[in-house]
């Protein structure tokens, strides 16, 4: 398959790129800043094509689309995300800039990625979009704290559900996924799920995604997550 993954220079995105390339998929992996640490030119294997993309910048998306050219994409993984208020849950510590930057990446970034890559997805036999959201955005799991991150992931879930409806006529399936509480820079060292375990489960979910399951919201282990 031809696959594009946003925010792939670290954490879950890096694991996904490495494992998908290792099984023979052709992977385009994006990183926000040119020269960002991707672990060397051979990171992820010979079939990983590293590209620069700021998901919050429409011009950056247009430039990436031009570089991709006529290449079809079977799967686009919207993985790039930020958690700017982690450890700062007092309302007084939250700033307008944190809200703006979080939504620009976690919500608008998903939309801009899909918008720019719809032609490439349309060239595939069956195009798939995977949105890495979070159970923290579930309306039924509002346990307090992390207001900005939770609100952005709730919006990403809602966006994915509506995309699933509107893109069904184009034969494009959309899945929304909770990667688990993963031991990454974002998740922290106390998180119980290893990045590799999350990536393996997510890849199984991506493979299973079809028009029959479009609009699903599932955990990396296949457990349905309440909206």
Active-site option among 83, 149, 177, 220:
149
- DSSP code of residue 182: B
Rg (the chain; Cα; Å): 16
Helix (H) or strand (E) run with residue 167 in it: helix 147-167
To the query of whether residue 149 is one of the catalytic residues in this protein, the response is yes
The CA angle 88-184-205, to the nearest 5 degrees, is: 115
**8 A C-beta contact, residue 77 and residue 125:** no
Beta strand pairing call for 216-219 and 75-78: unpaired
Please measure the distance between the N-terminal and C-terminal CA atoms of the chain and give it in whole angstroms: 30
Q: What is the number of alpha carbons within 13 Å of residue 220 lying toward its C-beta?
A: 21
Tell me the catalytic residues: 149
């Amino acid at each position: 398959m031809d696959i594009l993954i946003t925010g792939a220079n670290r954490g879950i995105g890096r694991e996904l790129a490495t494992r998908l390339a290792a099984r023979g998929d052709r992977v385009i992996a994006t990183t926000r800043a040119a020269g960002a640490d991707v672990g060397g030119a051979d990171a992820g294997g010979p079939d990983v094509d590293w590209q620069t993309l700021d998901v919050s910048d429409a011009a950056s998306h247009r430039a990436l689309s031009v570089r991709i050219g006529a290449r079809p994409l079977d799967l686009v993984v919207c993985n790039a995300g930020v958690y700017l208020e982690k450890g700062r849950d007092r309302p007084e510590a939250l700033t307008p800039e944190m809200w703006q930057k979080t939504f620009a990446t976690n919500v608008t970034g998903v939309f801009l990625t899909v918008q720019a890559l719809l032609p490439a997805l349309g060239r595939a036999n069956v195009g798939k979009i995977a949105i890495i959201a979070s159970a923290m955005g579930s309306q039924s799991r509002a346990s307090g704290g992390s207001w900005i991150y939770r609100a952005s992931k709730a919006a990403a879930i809602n966006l994915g559900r509506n995309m699933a409806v509107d893109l069904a006529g184009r034969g494009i399936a959309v899945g929304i996924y909770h990667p688990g509480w993963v031991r990454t820079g974002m998740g922290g060292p106390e998180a119980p799920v290893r990045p590799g375990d999350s990536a393996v489960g997510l890849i199984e979910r991506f493979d299973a995604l079809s028009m029959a399951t479009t609009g699903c919201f599932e955990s990396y282990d296949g457990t349905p997550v309440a909206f």
